A and B are shown apart, each in its own frame.
Chain A
Amino acid sequence: MLAEFGYGVLVVSFLVTVYSGVAAFFGVRKNSASLIESARRAQLLTFPLITVSSFVLIYLLVNNHFEVSFAYEVTSRSMPTYLKITAWWGGQAGSLLFWSWLLAAFTSLVTLRKWDRDIEFLPWVIVVSAITLAFFLFMIIFHENPFTRYWLVAGNVVESMFKPTAEAVIFMPENGRGLNPLLRHPGMIIHPPMLYLGFVSYVIPYSFAIAALITGRTDDRWTRITRRWSLWAWLFLSFGLVLGGRWAYDVLGWGGYWGWDPVEIAAFMPWLTGTAFLHSVMIQEKRGMLKQWNMVLIILTYALVIFGTFLTRSGVLSSVHSFANSPIGPYFMGFVSFTLIASVYLLIRRWNDLRSETEMKSMLSREALFLLNNLLFIGILVVCFWGVIYPLISELATGFKVTVGPPYYERAAGPLFAGLLFLMAVAPFSAWGHSTLQTLGKALWKSTLASFVLTVILFFTYTQNLYAIIGFFLVALAIFSTLHEFWRGAIARQKTQNENFFTALSNLMMRNRRRYGGYIIHISMALMAIGILGIELFQKETQGTVAAGEALNVGNYTVEYRELASWDVPSDDVNYTRAVLDIYENGIYLGQLYPRIDYFYDAEQTMTIPGQRSTFRDDLYILLVDWQPASNTGATFKIYVNPLVNWLWIGSLLFLFGIIFAAWPDKELEAVKVKHSAQQTSAAD
């Protein structure tokens, strides 16, 4: 009964969504405010409706309703309640519902804003988000229905939403299959919703962009309204990516965090265009340039978001990530093509209205460097896209499927990332409009000198690897010059405002949140680069089988095997096998590490949990590979030393702080705005 109810509500929300889109469209056509208002209310209704349907699904998941196919696929009796709830996005059908729920929520938030001067955007924002939402609901209702149930028909199990024949009875499996144990990790539980929050948030700026193209209001109003949306979208997407990396590092046990897997790239591509967009929007707001380009970027981001949702959930490309596999691909590709063609058509129609107000003059001006930054991001995007589709292209062209692996991405994208680091160091010092080599050199020579000295020291004390030397130099340059920029601003303010240095610094940052948040992000990126250089260029590994009391050596570390125990925890339905290791560095005792292997009985799967010891200098990362239970001959370990990798995580945290700093609502500004509009109203009176 409940399953039918949840499905029914979903069908209703689909119809309401379609109505809201159609009503908004004809509301504009017929110039009918009441029709548009009706569309707005219908849109607001979609959120409670999808919420009800989602609650029904969660109820079924939590209460072991294994006759419902989705509950059978993603939950089992032994799973704790919170995991059963998060199983909502643990499979394809549920995660599409989750996506739709988020989109309904975000669109409602937008619909509820004060529209005032922007009322002409409203119907088109509703149309665009309704088309997107209707597509997702359509996919759920007709192809990926989480509410289908199992029926017994003449002794066979059949999957169907409604009673397939008159004699059919509900079939209730004893237990569900359960969530893949690899996904039962806190990082993996919040990783998909974070990515989805980011994905879905980008629908909002896209809707406004399309609204601007349709209404012909092609000034920077749409970017200003959606500025915070794109920042939050970027925050969630970035956070999702970082969590995914951390999860891989902690759970997948290959000593890495990023494998250039097509699914990872699918999530990374909208991040690239989104990052380019964040930068180039500033040019539009400050200089009235790159308007066409910003449209291109947001359209691309939207297309990549849909493409990414499809790639992560379809298994169209061979990938270890594809936990979900279904024939919904053609629909997604069709939808992406449709929106791309429609958007490009609208863009071409308005192309001339979107011309720049000023011309770019100097190659070293800030706008030129921003544009260069954009080109590098798009270059990385092309590298990624080419890598993902190359197997399909080569198969069409030659009949052979040819793939490219991580070396391709590292080789092709590495120099582009290096270019971005360099721009991070230079761009803050170049002026809008016009800059020369001389002015830039004057501003940069101190940080260049400091970076050079540091690099020379590193050359004699740490590494002679050419790539590392170049990388560390660029990292140092980016960090020093950004810090110099903070320093310069604070000193200037200190003089004019007569404040002490720290007040000046904090006031400076609080009054220019976006700018200084951006610089914090730049520093965090440079820190992350340190971690990436460390693990990519200096990773050491060893492996071996040792008896109790024996030791393995790697780098300065000595790892001595003490003992091993194996036990069942019936309440979790898991067997744990844990080794105890004493860790020494240069003969000094540091403590113990406990690498484990967990065996999940219900899923018949093992999970290897590394023992980790992190310092600023390196990570010791130990995997228990195998053991001999009967004889006490010993156990086998694989040991990695990952230099500097901790900076990747430290950088990630600073990065999140930087985005939140930049995106946090500005109280003062809002207050000024309110006052301003109050004055306007009284003047109108």
Chain B
Amino acid sequence: MKPKFLIGFGMILAAVLFLIFSSTRASSERFMTVDEMLAEGPAIVGDSIRITGAVIGDTIQYDPATLTLMFEVAHAPADFQEIEDQGGLAKVLYDAVHDPTRNRVKIIYIGVKPDLLRTEAQAIMAGTLDENGVFHATELLLKCPTRYQEALPEN
């Protein structure tokens, strides 16, 4: 192949790599569990992060006038293998919600209350932790394993 092609393709490659790395740098967020976030202490306050936890149903409050949604999540493991070892996602989330000794974090989210928000849902939230230990979520994703996955029927 002629050198001018190699130079041309090299430039495109460099441009793609530049786009990828600069964009990764600009928009990457650390992903952590409640325990991992609390272990970071004040160092993490204000950083854009993404956390996961189990939704505690009794704590859900919604003010439709201001679209302010408040609830608490309990620490639950996020590692796939760890979840499997502890009996699957449904069980892990159940344990997290029913164990009063687990660390909990209060979440504030402004927006429409998601259809899937309920107790023992797995929540993934992007946002920042403030100095009072409240997590301000800008994005809220939910997964409800209990009803749709491999839980056995009750006798």
Hey, which bits of chain A sit against chain B, CB under 8 A?
A: 66, 72-73, 150, 152, 155-159, 171, 173, 177, 180, 182, 253-254, 315-316, 318-320, 322-327, 329, 359-361, 363, 368, 372, 375-376, 379, 382-383, 386, 390-391, 394, 400-405, 407-409, 411-413, 415-416, 543, 545, 603-608, 623, 625-627, 636, 638
Contact = CB atoms under 8 A, between A and B. Distances in A.
A383 B67 contact: no
A150 B154 CA distance: 11
Interface residues of B, number: 55
B147 A407 contact: no
Contacts of A324: 149
Nearest to A150: B153
Nearest to B115: A606
B28 interface: yes
B126 interface: yes
A415 B27 CA distance: 16
Given A318-B78, A402-B31, A155 B64 contact: no
Contacts of A253: 112, 115
A150 B5 contact: no
Given A363-B4, A403-B50, A408 B26 contact: yes
Among B50, B89, B144, B148: residue with most chain A CB under 10 A = B148
B1 interface: yes
Contacts of A182: 115
Nearest to B32: A401
Contacts of B139: 405
B147 A603 contact: yes
Nearest to A372: B12
B89 A403 contact: no
B30 A411 contact: no
B28 to A, nearest CB: 5
Interface in B91-116: 111-113, 115-116
B116 A605 contact: yes
B28 A368 contact: no
Contacts of A254: 112
B5 A375 contact: no
Contacts of B88: 325
Given A401-B31, A403-B31, A405-B27, A325 B89 contact: yes
Interface string B128-153: 00000000000101111101111011
A325 B31 contact: no
Contact of B16 (A316, A382, A405, A636): A382
B115 A412 contact: no
Q: Would you list the 8 A-B pairs with minimal beta carbon distance, nearest first?
A: A626-B64, A636-B64, A412-B23, A173-B153, A379-B16, A401-B31, A408-B27, A411-B23
Given A401-B30, A402-B29, 16 more contacts: A73-B150, A157-B152, A182-B115, A325-B89, A372-B12, A379-B16, A379-B19, A382-B16, A390-B28, A402-B28, A402-B30, A404-B24, A408-B28, A412-B23, A605-B144, A626-B62
Contact of B19 (A173, A383, A390, A405): A383
Contact of B112 (A158, A320, A372, A608): A608
A523 B89 CA distance: 46
B9 A400 contact: no
Nearest to A253: B112
Contacts of A603: 147
A400 B30 contact: yes
Interface in B25-78: 26-32, 50, 52, 62, 64-65, 67, 78
A241 B115 CA distance: 23
Contact of B113 (A391, A394, A626): A626
Contacts of B15: 415
Contacts of B111: 638
A180 B148 contact: yes
Contacts of A626: 62, 64, 113
Contacts of B141: 318-320
Given A318-B78, A318-B124, A386 B24 contact: yes
A669 to B, nearest CB: 35
Contacts of B153: 66, 72, 150, 157, 171, 173
Nearest to A322: B143
Contacts of B22: 411-412
B82 interface: no
Contact of B148 (A177, A316, A327, A402): A177
Contacts of A363: 4-5, 8
Given A157-B155, A401-B31, A326 B150 contact: yes
Contacts of A402: 28-31
A32 B91 CA distance: 56
5 contacts: A171-B153, A405-B139, A411-B23, A543-B67, A626-B113
A375 B9 contact: yes
Contacts of B84: 327
A607 B143 CA distance: 15
Contact of B12 (A152, A159, A379, A413): A379
B155 A545 contact: no
A586 to B, nearest CB: 27
A551 B90 CA distance: 43
Contacts of B113: 625-626
A428 B113 CA distance: 49
A622 to B, nearest CB: 11
A82 B110 CA distance: 39
A379 B150 CA distance: 38
A364 to B, nearest CB: 11
Nearest to B116: A605
A636 B144 CA distance: 25
Contacts of B20: 382-383, 386, 412
Contacts of B28: 390, 394, 402-404, 408
B106 to A, nearest CB: 21
A605 B24 CA distance: 36
A411 B116 contact: no
B43 to A, nearest CB: 13
Nearest to B139: A405
